[in-house]
Amino acid sequence: MSKKRMFFAQVAFPASRGHTAANDDIHTNPCLSCGACCAHFRVSFYCGEIAGENGGTVPPDLVSQVGPLRACMKGTEYGGQRCVALRGEVGQEGTHCAIYEQRPSPCRDFPAWEEDGTPNPDCQKVRAKFGLAALPHIEQDNDRDPGKAPPGQGDVAA
């Protein structure tokens, strides 16, 4: 994992599997009030992620088997349709994933921003399709490695 990617993972809250996801920071995560990707992309993943004896977390009643080793979230089998776990209306406050803590790896790993702070182009395209505003470029605060950046305006001495 690159240093920048690790930075984003470190600021996120821990995920249920003991590691952080690319989109777990509830304070800055536009995904938690968007849902555009959840209503557009096919969410396909390894069947070992399905809850059961294999130790997966995704509820089996929300999954369709699409191959011997692949599954996808119901509703997303062909793309362009909403995931069965999506609650609320795309782009509206309160939109959320009903299984956020148990969501599959494609949902955990899809970042709203790239490592350099530019918005994910796939996210931008889908947001535009639903008439949502584009995400801005984000500046990275280098507080995790203070030796490489001067103190910021909100920094406090220890």
Give pLDDT, residue 53.
85
Residue spans of beta strands (DSSP E) within the chain: 44-46, 63-65, 70-73, 86-87, 96-97
Virtual torsion, Cα 28, 32, 54, 80, nearest 10 deg: -130
Contact 33, 120 (CB under 8 A): no
Give pLDDT, residue 15.
37
Residues with pLDDT less than 70, the chain: 1-28, 141-158
Give pLDDT, residue 54.
81
Give pLDDT, residue 64.
96
**Residue written as tokens 């009643």?**
61
Greatest Cα-to-Cα distance within the chain, rounded to the nearest angstrom: 56
* pTM over cut 0.85: no
